[in-house]
Structure 1
């Protein structure tokens, strides 16, 4: 039996090469809390949602990626609860939905998908938050897989 080795690496999330949308931004202050801070590699910046539930982050790639895992770093006290990742392979494809359960901590958390999934659009949905007002704070998000 032959074994096929697949290179699993971080998928480039350069904001200029993808479309990213978020549900809201705290006080509409995109300069301080906008979506660009999710991918800037700076530990001092973050996306901070406004209050209310659900909150979400949606990423659309220019071409299909094979997604196997992701890492996300929240600010403790502003962590998503009852979360799910929604993956759409293409315009006429049915979406794949898988729940994930982050801890209420500041550390980077890694989640492996149950199966490698083709992704054109990836949406992270935070149906509720550890924050009483429903705010979410994300410092970084990394997707793993292959092109």
Structure 2
């Protein structure tokens, strides 16, 4: 997902919901304005949202913003309503376009 190779990907198990959590390795908070994601068509997240969590507590939600990917193989860009700083970025996929709830992601980039 992060190596810019078209031959590697992340795939979930079956079932819903699924999620990906990214924790910033930097000592300061990481600011993001947008993100890019590339799914495999037919295995795309539905009813998705990005959560940004405070580094002090998993219960301290800074942001919860929905996003709506198209069911295709294209590299998709999503802009946040406002930039946000955080340490933990959690992409939650409540459902999937796949009947079994599987999701396949080739690329994911925070901007």
- After TM superposition, the score normalised by the length of structure 2 is 0.92
Q: CA RMSD for the aligned pairs?
A: 1.0
User: Mapping of 1:66-85 within 5 angstroms?
Assistant: 66-85=31-50
User: Mapping of 1:1-147 within 5 angstroms?
Assistant: 38-62=1-25, 63=27, 64-92=29-57, 93-144=60-111
Output the CA distance in 1 between the equivalents of 2:36 and 2:54.
20
Higher relative contact order (CA 8 A, sep 6+): 2
Q: CA deviation at 1:44?
A: 1.4
Output the CA distance in 2 between the equivalents of 1:96 and 1:39.
23
Q: Which structure's CA Rg is the greater one?
A: 1
The answer (yes or no) to whether the contact 2:51–2:61 under 8 Å persists in 1 is no
More helix by share: 1
The answer (yes or no) to whether the contact 1:48–1:138 under 8 Å persists in 2 is yes
- How many aligned residue pairs are there? 107
The answer (yes or no) to whether the contact 2:96–2:102 under 8 Å persists in 1 is yes
Structure 1 unaligned regions, length at least 5: 1-37
* 3-state DSSP of counterpart to 2:87: strand
Q: CA deviation at 1:94?
A: 3.2
- After TM superposition, the score normalised by the length of structure 1 is 0.70
Output the CA distance in 1 between the equivalents of 2:43 and 2:61.
31
